[in-house]
Amino acid sequence: MFQKQIIRLRSQFSGGLFISCFMLIFATTAVANQDELFIHSDQLDIKQLIQAVLTRNPTIEAMQSAWKAAESRIDQVTALDDPVLSYSFAPETLNQSNQDFGQKIQLSQKIPWPGKLALRGDSARFESRAHKESIELVRQKLIETTARTFSDWYYIHEAQRINRVNQGLWREFHAIAELKYSTGRVSKQDVLRAEVEQAMLEHQSIVLQRKQHNILARLNTLLNRIPDSVIPSPAALPMVRLLPSVEQLRVMALETHPGLKVLTARLRASEVRVKSARRDFYPDFKIIAGYNSLWNQNEKRFTVGVGINIPLSQINRKAKVSEYRAKTLQLKWRIKDKQAVIAGNVQRGYNNVNEIRHILKLYRNKLLPLAEDNLHAAKADYQSGKGSFLDLVSAEKNLVQTRLNNVQALTDYHRHLAMLARHVGNPDLLYGNFNIPSHSDDVIKGELQ
């Protein structure tokens, strides 16, 4: 009995050990697979991230499946109905020796009025095209979201870098304050103020880490990965580039915006449905072939014929034409409204990008150099005893805030540029690889930063 218990315990232990090893291997493999996406990248650039999101995000696959389903409708609506086979017999002729068994077989095929199937196919093709353009619409929305999130990823890393530099400055200021306090040139308050500022920077560092983890989760959600999977630190944001004029951007938008292409394809489908509804006033044909043994003469037993439906009910057909006309008119007005909305979005997006471009120029050419010179002067005055510690604190805070504002302006520029690219319907605006419409005579406006 005791030996059986030992054997059972040994078996349970071996099974548990096997399961534990299996789970460990599975977890290790899962982590490795998650990290393989960027395993060879020390830094992540925006193009690499966008490509990964477009490859891995399930939203694109869902839209492509919807497009394939719409394409399958083309063959369905252009195919003929199945032929109809009917059979009947005369029960009274069963087992009658004085007469033949009476039976009737008939095969019929419905043939629509010429042009009906072609119009149905055209309508389905335009609907399929609308689904295809919807894929591009979703794709551009994903690109915008990815670019904006990458800008946040860049900003949080820059904010942490500035925080570390700032902590180094305050350690230096703390040492200067302690030295001056030890010689009796300043009060203990300067030393305590330096320690308070260092503690506040440590608190800010913790807050920035929490924000970084939240942005990391957003990026991994776009990539369809575990929220805390490792993502490399960001490479530098693309340089500020020349943009076409707002007039050229509006021309681009009206030519390339997928939202307009979706509505245009649906308008074409609706126009075809109007034509198809008008064809319903014409009858359909039915070709018939049959064999009827009830006829006494063999020559009369095999028959062929043709039939048509008589479209007597005009009310429902007229209502159908009226319905599709109204829907067509609705789509025309929706396209007009969409064009106006796109033009307004392009104008506002261009204004935002242009404003931030000037703000960046102001920070880089004036505000940042002034803030750095102000801190150097305040530090020199404090060391020589001419300035107060509060002046040094104020100058240092001004420099840090100016640096953060500069980074924020840069990330805002790329966030608004991503929005502008979506409004125009041309993601290449993010990289500067855009094509200007050949029929536009406007001159490119803007300045390289």
Whether residue 254 contacts residue 339, with contact meaning beta carbons closer than 8 Å, is answered with yes
Distance, CA of 398 to CA of 377 (rounded, Å)? 13
Q: Helices in 366-388 by DSSP H: which ranges?
A: 368-384
Distance, CA of 94 to CA of 103 (rounded, Å)? 10
Q: What angle do CA 271, 276, 278 make, to 5 degrees?
A: 100
Concatenated DSSP letters for 416-435? HHHHHHHHHT-GGGGTT---
Residue with tokens 């295809």: 132
Tokens of 405: 């504002």
The whole-number pLDDT of residue 194 equals 84
Tokens of 112: 């629509």
Phi, psi of 305 (to 5 degrees): -165, 180
The whole-number pLDDT of residue 434 equals 57
Does residue 84 sit in helix, strand or coil? strand
The whole-number pLDDT of residue 321 equals 94
Distance, CA of 214 to CA of 437 (rounded, Å)? 41
The whole-number pLDDT of residue 435 equals 56
The whole-number pLDDT of residue 212 equals 95
Whether residue 356 contacts residue 240, with contact meaning beta carbons closer than 8 Å, is answered with no
Give the pairing of strands 285-292 and 302-308.
antiparallel
Distance, CA of 417 to CA of 214 (rounded, Å)? 23
How many Å separate Cα 23 from the centre of its chain?
A: 35
pTM, rounded to two decimals:
0.78
Signed CA dihedral, 9, 14, 15, 19: sign only: positive
Tokens of 75: 């063959």
pLDDT by residue for the chain (449 residues), tens only, comes to 445 444 454 455 444 444 444 344 434 444 444 447 777 778 898 999 999 999 998 988 898 899 999 999 999 999 989 999 999 988 877 777 677 778 899 999 999 999 999 999 999 999 999 999 999 999 999 999 999 999 999 999 999 999 998 888 888 888 888 887 887 777 788 888 888 888 998 999 999 999 999 999 999 999 999 999 999 999 998 888 878 899 999 999 999 899 999 999 999 999 999 999 999 999 999 999 999 887 777 888 898 999 988 888 889 999 999 999 999 999 999 999 999 999 999 999 999 999 999 999 999 999 999 999 998 998 888 888 888 888 888 888 898 899 999 999 999 999 999 999 999 998 888 876 655 544 433 333 333 23
The whole-number pLDDT of residue 20 equals 43
Does residue 111 sit in helix, strand or coil? strand
How many other C-beta atoms lie within 10 A of the C-beta of residue 295?
14
**Widest CA span in the chain:** 141
DSSP 438: T
Answer left, alpha or beta for residue 160, where phi above 0 means left and psi between -120 and 50 means alpha.
Answer: alpha
The whole-number pLDDT of residue 17 equals 44
Distance, CA of 30 to CA of 36 (rounded, Å)? 10
The whole-number pLDDT of residue 136 equals 92
Q: What angle do CA 381, 385, 390 make, to 5 degrees?
A: 65
